[in-house]
Structure 1
Amino acid sequence: MAAARLLPAATPVTDLPPATVARLAATAQRFEAQAIGQLLQPMFDTVDTSSGPFGGGAGEQTWRPMMVSEFAKRIAAAGGIGLAAPVLQALIHAQEQKEQAPR
């Protein structure tokens, strides 16, 4: 899993099972990818594609959100902007609190 490969140094010490930590790391990375996508979207909204090799148009407009999403996923998988590590720490803390709560 890419997220487990991405965050081992930033993973806090925890008694949670490794599978749970890997699942939380993947969630943190997806969150970071969504945040990066929101940052990238305005940049792509200002690009004039009418004179490009594919001519822009409705087809290109239709597929652009998917392209931005994939760019964001790749950026997050390559290390991102540093958002996934603190999100992972918060998720692990919340999971530990949930498991320690009396039932």
Structure 2
Amino acid sequence: MDPVSFPVPSAQPGPPGSVRLPSKAEAVDAFEASFLATVFKEMGLGRPRESFGGGIGEEQVASMICDAQARAIVAAGGIGLAERLLTAGAFADAAPSSAPSGAPDE
């Protein structure tokens, strides 16, 4: 049986089993979209109205609407969070350490 794989949406074709990690810009954009979606959900944006009866289906659609609106805002330039993270160096390249974790540096 073949293992199930979930491709990265923007992944380029490569050798079987390879995974392309997102760039810093893609990562901070995804973070900004996730942040905005969380803010929207906490504000109650897209919350189902009581007049429709509620239910799990309406809650799921409301969540998808918040996610889609957040992605659209980021695609249109966002609120500046991604740029601030990039310029602040929050996503600096981390070189793997040759020393085991917890070992004293020489």
So what's the TM-score if we normalise by structure 1?
0.58
Structure 2: which 5+ runs fail to align?
A: 1-20, 99-106
Who is 1:79 aligned against?
Answer: 77
Runs of 4 or more consecutive aligned structure 1 residues displaced over 6 Å after TM superposition: none
- Describe the SS at the equivalent of 1:57: coil
Query: Which residue does the alignment assign to 2:28?
Result: 28
Q: What is the percentage of aligned positions where both structures have the same residue?
A: 30
Bigger relative CO (Cα 8 Å, ≥ 6 apart): 1
Deviations 1:29-83 (A, max 9, x none): 00111111121112226856234xxx25212112211111111111111111110
Using the size of structure 2 for normalisation, the TM-score is: 0.56
Matches within 5 A, 1:16-95: 23-44=23-44, 47=47, 49-51=49-51, 55=52, 57-58=54-55, 59-89=57-87, 90-91=89-90, 94-95=92-93
Gaps of at least 5 residues in structure 1 are 1-19
Rg (Cα) greater in structure: 2
RMSD of the TM alignment (CA)?
2.8
Aligned partners of 1:33 and 1:102: how far apart in 2? Answer: 31
